[in-house]
């Protein structure tokens, strides 16, 4: 696992972008998603064979690196939860702000993991 510049409190260091390192990190920050991770990994590897391309595996790695980046940073995770909770708010201004916040969280996490 590598270290990262200070983004506030982090639960764990940022993991390397390998399946084993990502799985180990997820087991710490959000173990309830391990089954989902395995299912999407199996799907990505099957598509890679079918398509004769590594792009599905690369997408899988980036998606899980992003999700783990959010989960390992409590402030970012709280922003994501708040945004998701307000996405279908009856006040369209609040719903639009939630969508903007959701996009910002995903963008920040993706940028942090090099995607």
pLDDT tens string 10-26? 999 999 999 999 999 99
Asked whether the predicted pLDDT for residue 2 surpasses 80, the reply is: no
Residue count of the chain: 115
Three-point CA angle 93, 97, 100, nearest 5°? 145
Calpha distance 88→96 (Å, rounded): 9
pLDDT at 91: 96
pLDDT at 8: 63
pLDDT at 6: 45
Banded model confidence at residue 37, pLDDT cuts 50, 70, 90: very high
Query: In this structure, what token pair is assigned to residue 110?
Result: 């993706």
pTM (global) more than 0.75: yes
Calpha distance 58→113 (Å, rounded): 12
Contact 22, 15 (CB under 8 A): yes
pLDDT at 115: 79
Asked whether the predicted pLDDT for residue 112 surpasses 70, the reply is: yes
3 state DSSP class of 21: helix
Model pLDDT for residues 56-106, shown as the tens digit of each residue = 999 999 999 999 999 999 999 999 999 999 999 999 999 999 999 999 999
Higher pLDDT, 16 or 9: 16
């Amino acid at each position: 696992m590598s270290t990262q510049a200070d983004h506030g409190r982090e639960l764990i260091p940022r993991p390397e972008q390998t399946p084993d390192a990502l799985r180990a990190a997820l087991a710490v920050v959000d173990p309830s998603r391990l089954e989902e991770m395995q299912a999407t990994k199996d799907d990505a590897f099957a598509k890679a064979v079918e398509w004769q391309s590594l792009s599905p595996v690369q997408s899988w790695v980036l998606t899980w690196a992003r999700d783990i980046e959010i989960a390992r940073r409590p402030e970012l995770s709280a922003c994501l939860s708040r945004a998701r909770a307000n996405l279908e708010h009856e006040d369209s201004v609040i719903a639009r702000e939630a969508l903007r916040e959701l996009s910002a969280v995903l963008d920040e996490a993706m940028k942090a993991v090099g995607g």
